[in-house]
Amino acid sequence: MKKILDRIWGWMKSTAWFQVVILVGVVVAIVLCISPISRAIQNATAEADKVKYYMYNRISYNELTEKIDALDKGTDTDGFAVLFSADNTSAGSEEGIQAYVDSNADSVPVYIMNTGVTDDDSGKSKYDTDDDWYDYYKLSKTMFATLSEAGSQVFEAWRKEIKSYPDSGEIDQGAETNQFPVAESLPTSLMWFRPSSQIDESVLPLTTVDDDVTGEADVNFHIAKVYLDFVDDDGGDNTKTQVQTGLMKFFGVTSEGTRSTASILPSHRG
């Protein structure tokens, strides 16, 4: 076998036309590989640059209630916010939230709750491919009902106040027909959860409702503020900047980076 291989190798070295064929083949193979390799590098770079705020800031219902329970026990007066949305795919909104967080050293944490992860047929068919993930983040109708009741009352108070004080710097939340529905689901909305001491005195009773999940009566859900629309149409020419400036108005962040009494109703501000 060795002799046969030696003969073949000797023939290849002494045959000029075969060497040319081999060389051309190598060059062609390299050229053909350039495009796939280039695309792979471009795709990897694009994936690395892609904003992944939603992925790294998800929150479950149990995590939310734990954070709410801790609000009056700690020293964090700013609390946290949650974006409730069944559609977490808007790149512009995600980039806007990331931009708000990155541009403000003392930004209020914004978590994401995907309200499409439900325990009904639609939620199961879309999200239960990973059992552990699905069981951790899924929402039930009773969970929705509790948050919906408190959220709708707080939203309506803010909607009326903003309408009455158009120069307050808040984003108009629309007419009375644009209400936060009390239902077994949640509309896309942004809620700010704060300690009781930081919630407007008129709002505090509105955020105290019976907890349909635990059965406990008169539970303070610490919802200080609710927006259905947090996109500032005057904040720029693209969704990213409109969301960023909308969040700054929601949290009362001025262009100088200071914070106003954003969770206090306009008529009660000093």
Same domain, 124 and 68: yes
Backbone phi, psi, residue 208, to 5°? -105, 110
How high is the pLDDT of residue 241?
Answer: 92
How high is the pLDDT of residue 176?
Answer: 76
Same domain, 33 and 77: no
Backbone phi, psi, residue 111, to 5°? -105, 165
The pair of structure tokens assigned to 127 is 């999200």
List beta partners, residue 84.
113, 189
The residue from 32, 48, 64 where one domain ends is 48
Distance CA(209)–CA(194), nearest Å, equals 16
Same domain, 151 and 182: yes
The pair of structure tokens assigned to 233 is 């149409």
Contact 263, 192 (CB under 8 A): yes
How high is the pLDDT of residue 186?
Answer: 85
Q: Give the total number of structural domains in the chain.
A: 2
Burial (Cβ within 10 Å: 0-12, 13-18, ≥19) of residue 196: middle
List beta partners, residue 225.
192
Same domain, 6 and 92: no
Beta strands 219-220; 110-114: pairing state: unpaired
Distance CA(243)–CA(265), nearest Å, equals 22
Contact 230, 84 (CB under 8 A): no
Same domain, 38 and 133: no
Same domain, 42 and 100: no
How high is the pLDDT of residue 27?
Answer: 65
Neighbours of 70 (CB within 10 A): 13
Distance CA(58)–CA(110), nearest Å, equals 9
Same domain, 127 and 43: no
Same domain, 177 and 191: yes
How high is the pLDDT of residue 180?
Answer: 78
Same domain, 103 and 10: no
Does the CA dihedral 47-51-56-60 come out positive or negative?
negative
Same domain, 163 and 187: yes
Helix (H, G, I), strand (E, B) or coil at 208: strand
DSSP annotation of 214 reads: T
- Please report, as a single letter, which amino acid is at residue 158: W
How high is the pLDDT of residue 75?
Answer: 82
Distance CA(24)–CA(16), nearest Å, equals 13
How high is the pLDDT of residue 185?
Answer: 78
The residue from 30, 48, 66 where one domain ends is 48
Same domain, 42 and 58: no
- 79 phi-psi bin (left φ>0, alpha ψ -120 to 50, beta other): left
Same domain, 135 and 160: yes
Mean pLDDT by 10 residues, the chain (270 residues): 58 58 65 57 42 88 94 88 81 87 87 90 83 91 89 93 92 81 82 94 93 89 94 88 93 66 84
Question: What is the residue range of 37's domain?
Answer: 2-48
